[in-house]
Amino acid sequence: MLQRYSSIQFEAERILAVVQIYLDELFIDALKEAPPEVVLEPLKALRSTIDEKYAEYRDLSFTIDKLEQKMRKEDE
């Protein structure tokens, strides 16, 4: 639905809200394409509340890494 009717740039805040409630891996993955300035810090804050042994921690870490790479490329 997102790819067909909208874009991650417009829906990032809504998807972030879903992630903050449900920690769904598909929504976490979708945020890799979000504007880092919108979602990066909230995702880091969310990750800090989850123990490293959980899959959600790894999912969030992967997405955070991708967003940080994206920010570095934008800064170049």
Positive or negative, the CA dihedral 49, 53, 55, 57 is positive
Across the chain, which has 76 residues, the per-10-residue mean pLDDT values are: 80 96 95 96 98 97 97 89
Give which of 75, 40, 76, 74 is closest to 60, Cα–Cα.
40
Please state the pTM of the whole predicted model.
0.92
pLDDT value at residue 6:
85
